[in-house]
Structure 1
């Protein structure tokens, strides 16, 4: 005879089977070394976060002082922009922003962010160079020193006539040995009494403006080269308003129509002395800056590795 099984005896067996079903994978998972590593890392991270989020003891905190002058500078800056004084809440916001900026600045320095940014490095170097300028040691030059300085740099202060003219450019780079011949041919055309041309369409394009106004011989030497400057000085003795040339420059050949000539102005003693003093002072600053940099370099053992191998 078959004996019936009570229903309540089945449920414990099924529950026991279920516990064995999920305990076995958990046991295998917990025995993995990788899991131990993750748990250890999570614990360390949690401990670090806990210690970092706690407030540092008062004795270990950095001192940060916003002086009265700094606060007044914030207040006056707001008033200048908005045409009214800031309210209490606005003033507090200005102070908070200033403090946050200082905190972030200090944290950036602590992280060394200033060392990896070319713009920041250059700006800091420029500010330091300005602060190191020994301006206090500059003195007023004597009359003898100014005279000697002018004699040594005579070309800077040469008084010369000035010319205004129009020119047509023929490039030696593009036309090569044809540049001068092309200029001569165009000059013959321009000299014809019946010829009417738009000179802007003749010749070649140039970075030098076709109309030059009130240029000295020194300026012409810098722009066009010494040969061209000498040619203009010679040609200026001729009639005004006629095309002449061609004249050679550092870039090619030019046809020139002189429009105006200003004679050598009478030397203004006051203006000249002012220029001399300013130039003398600038040269003195450069010399002092060079001496300062030499002293700073002496503090360092400088090594420049030019080897291509590591």
Structure 2
């Protein structure tokens, strides 16, 4: 995806604006934290109530709400004192969390993108392998045994073609006698690698064999086949949109990082000397 294509470029500009806004308000927050005043306003209380409601599916009682407020004040006191002691400096957990929150800002921007249908269609056309439904096959099978002789195989095929109820033919097995349309990897998961490939060479409608699985010899009737298919956009729009936003978010995150990094002069040691 080209980073300057519409509408992603517009959201990069939005991202720059959002990060700039946070950079602008953060010094004011720092000044406020240097005072001895801790203010819990109506918005803070509303947020605490909302979090409680989301967790417990009910509003907090008066005592529970007071406990939430007390907990928030306690947290603020400890955070401020920890910062005074410099406990936030050099802490890898805190640093990782702050970097993660910056990424969350980018993710939120990407999640808000609502591309035009033609943008999604282009993305689908350029990435068919992500959305193509794999080949599927449906079949009936009769298990003979591990080393069935040719006569037994031919007799089973003849009986299956002439008997209306073929389910009693062959040996007992826990393998399914019939499989509806199933992706080939699932067929191989049940019968062993290569079984689906052997089925794919058979003409639907006729009993034939031998077909070897991981368990022995079978005679098989293929009942249906479906080639790999790329669905229409309207049938998988949500999936395509999710993938598009994920890639857009990745592009946006990289562009945003490069924009932020351009504000710094980065100095690194000579790596050849550090490994000596």
Q: TM-score range by the shorter chain?
A: 0.5 to 0.7
Greater percentage in helix? 1
Verify the 8 A CA contact 1:138 1:281 in the aligned structure 2: yes
SS of the residue 1:281 aligns to: helix
Distance change >3 Å, CA 268–CA 98, structure 1 → 2: same
Structure with bigger RCO (C-alpha 8 Å, 6+ apart): 2
Q: Which residue of 1 aligns with 2:78?
A: 104
Distance in 2, matches of 1:223 and 1:269, equals: 32
Verify the 8 A CA contact 1:79 1:86 in the aligned structure 2: no
Within the candidate set 110, 125, 136, 1:135 is matched to 110
For residues 127-178 of structure 1, what are the alpha-carbon distances to aligned partners after superposition, in whole Å with 9 as ceiling and x for unaligned?
A: 22011344388452352x44433332233344565235799xxxxxxxxxxx
Verify the 8 A CA contact 1:187 1:243 in the aligned structure 2: no
Within the candidate set 252, 258, 270, 1:294 is matched to 258
How many pairs are equivalent?
220
Distance change >3 Å, CA 218–CA 154, structure 1 → 2: farther
Matched, 1:115 2:76: no
Structure 2: 5+ residue stretches without partners: 1-32, 157-168
Alignment of 1:119-268 (within 5 A): 121-133=95-107, 134-135=109-110, 138-143=113-118, 145-158=119-132, 161-164=135-138, 186=146, 188=148, 191=153, 196-199=171-174, 214-216=181-183, 230-235=197-202, 237=204, 239=206, 245-246=211-212, 261=224, 263=226
Verify the 8 A CA contact 2:191 2:215 in the aligned structure 1: no
What TM-score do the two structures reach when normalised by structure 2?
A: 0.52
Distance change >3 Å, CA 266–CA 254, structure 1 → 2: farther
| Structure with greater Cα Rg | 1
Verify the 8 A CA contact 1:146 1:276 in the aligned structure 2: yes
Residue 99 of structure 1 and its aligned partner are, at CA, apart by: 0.7
Q: Which residue of 1 aligns with 2:24?
A: none
RMSD: 5.3
Distance change >3 Å, CA 309–CA 276, structure 1 → 2: closer
Moved more, 211-220 or 270-279: 211-220
Distance in 2, matches of 1:224 and 1:163, equals: 13
